[in-house]
Amino acid sequence: VAKAPTEAIEGIGIGGQMHGAVLLDAKQRVLRPAILWNDGRCQEECDLLHKKVPTLIKETGNRALVGFTAPKLVWVKRHEPRVWKQVRTVLLPKDYLRLRLTGDMIAEMSDGAGMLLMDVAKRRWSAKMLAACDIDESYLGRLIEGSEIGGVVTAAAASELGIPAGIPVVGGAGDQAAGAVGAGCVTPGSTTIALGTSGVVFTTTKGYSPDKHGRLHTFCHALPKTWHQMGVMLSAAGSLQWYRDTLAPGAEFGALCAEAVGAPIGCDGLTFLPYLTGERTPLCDARARGGFIGLTRMHTRQHLTRAVLEGISLGLAESLHLIRDTGTTVKEATVTGGGTRSREWMQILADVCDVRIVLRTGADAGPALGAARLALIGCLGVPRAQACAPGAIEQTYAPDRAAVRAYAGVAARFRELYPVLKSYFHHV
């Protein structure tokens, strides 16, 4: 925008981190610092919501987790009653930005679904969840689609930003849905795997098809009549970062990953559990813990490194298994994030997940590009298929059939460990 003539700006799309609670009073003043997605203080409130709404998973398509917005609001009501009495508006971070841009109190489907306050199947606020959280619907924004115009830039905002007033602003999307739109993940079965500190497996589905146990997130996509499922791993590349910093300080990530091929598949019985900050999918257990299991004197740093890469990949594969179990076929995944620079890791990921891994041009610009694409659709009328076309394939990693068969046994061993160790995790 800074390099473009301001008169050339024909629309604005916005995206942002999901689940954060921005609380405003009757004069739209911020009442307290936003409680972000990674704040884990509200497990008790999650349990309370499940008791108050026994059909919660059926109602929302999701389990109540500490990262979601609704339990954070219940926490504020219970622990900060003076603040709660003043609350008249609840917005997500990007929608607060929209409020500042347009003056309009609006929410958007993909982000709103992550609040745990929506009937995701019907794409509307849930009366049951609002009642359980003691929230009046008037406190929440009017729900719109991500490609739908939801206001225009005000004169005051235009003056502050140095852009023309009246520019239309579309609904936009939460960061993951925006990233998927940017990567072209908008048709049934299309999948992205984001390898950040956390890891996210995102699949567009043919319709609304939640996991009945709530082990996957089932949200509205940023485009009309479209839904997606999402598995979240809390320590993906974060596990590799911890390993490098703690056990291989100074090692360059590329060289570290390259040495992993010196150890065999399955690491001679060594397994790494990547639950360094608890785990969401499929465990939904904030008290799960990580570790190396099966370590002996025969194991080398090569074994340890490969075990970390395999453990992360096995954790991500669990999300893909659940997505497939709900009826969606996944044959290919576009991967984004720093991990894509390691050929060794990408091949391990392809073999463990039994899916073709592709790297695409522009995919790492995902959320910003996705927000812009939503503006193209909403403000300029560009057809969805044209606006959201995937980038060109730069690299492909096909699963090796022999490796896929070998990893079946490794995956079985991986799945056996958490149930055995769960009681220990909950007592340390």
Report how far residue 106's alpha carbon sits from residue 74's, in angstroms, rounded to the nearest whole number: 22
Residue 421's CB is within 10 A of a number of other CB atoms, namely 16
Strands (E), 11-68: 15-16, 22-24
C-alpha to C-alpha distances, 203 to 122, 264, 289, 354, 375, nearest whole angstrom: 19, 31, 27, 15, 22
394 phi and psi, to 5 degrees?
A: -95, -35
Structure letter (DSSP) for residue 30: B
List residues with catalytic annotation: 175
Report how far residue 103's alpha carbon sits from residue 404's, in angstroms, rounded to the nearest whole number: 53
Report how far residue 197's alpha carbon sits from residue 245's, in angstroms, rounded to the nearest whole number: 14
Report how far residue 400's alpha carbon sits from residue 353's, in angstroms, rounded to the nearest whole number: 11
Joined tokens for residue 96: 């607060």
C-alpha to C-alpha distances, 396 to 52, 70, 193, 359, 423, nearest whole angstrom: 48, 40, 14, 7, 41
Report, in angstroms and rounded to the nearest whole number, the Rg of the chain calculated over CA atoms.
Answer: 22
